[in-house]
Amino acid sequence: MKKITRIALVFCGCALIVSIFVPLWSIYLTAPQYPEGLAMYLWPNKITGEYEIINGLNHYIGMKTIQPEDFWEFKVLPYALAFFALLCFLTALFNRKLWLFITLVLFLIFGVAFMVDFWLWEYDYGHDLDPTAPIVVPGMSYQPPLLGYKQLLNFGAYSYPNVGGAIMFGVALILAILAWVEYRKTSAT
């Protein structure tokens, strides 16, 4: 592999280590009664922000409470990110194109699985409502958007990557570019 490829792999590994210690995703709610908004941050191992206030509001429409201990992902995600960081370092060290391709494929599978898992949680969270809730709007679901903006009654819900999520998307892009460059180099010879 090219020297620049190996340097980029070390950079990706370092970036993934950083992603263990920063928020991965943000969910932000706005409403007339909360003009300053309410923020919730999903880290690899915890939830921070104003999720307790969000829980209090969601009680009225029958949504489950958000409890950090209910997320099995918090037990796995830091180790998964550390594994991919180590895989990037080993790929750079052993200087094998096959390892680069394997790293890319595994990381893409992990990324897609991560997003599908998050969407499934959001779906369950927004659709599995308590029928005895104080406020019931027939046919209404409250699934937050996976990415972007969605109006939910009088709340605007925003969902977007935070620092760690941006790092993960960036690493995926860098790995894809590196694999393509190395593949082109091989096919040209």
Give pLDDT, residue 170.
Answer: 98
Location of structure tokens 């191992």: 45
Section 17-43 average pLDDT: 95
Q: Is the pLDDT of residue 74 over 70?
A: yes
Three-point CA angle 185, 111, 9, nearest 5°:
40
Q: Residue 40 — very low, low, confident or very high, per pLDDT cuts 50/70/90?
A: very high
Q: Is the pLDDT of residue 188 over 90?
A: no
CB 39 within 8 A of CB 176: no
Give pLDDT, residue 58.
Answer: 85
The three-class DSSP label of residue 2 is coil
- Give me the residue spans of the domains in the chain: 3-188
Q: Is the pLDDT of residue 93 over 70?
A: yes
pTM of the predicted model, to two decimals? 0.90
Give pLDDT, residue 16.
Answer: 98
Mean of pLDDT over the chain: 93
Give pLDDT, residue 154.
Answer: 86
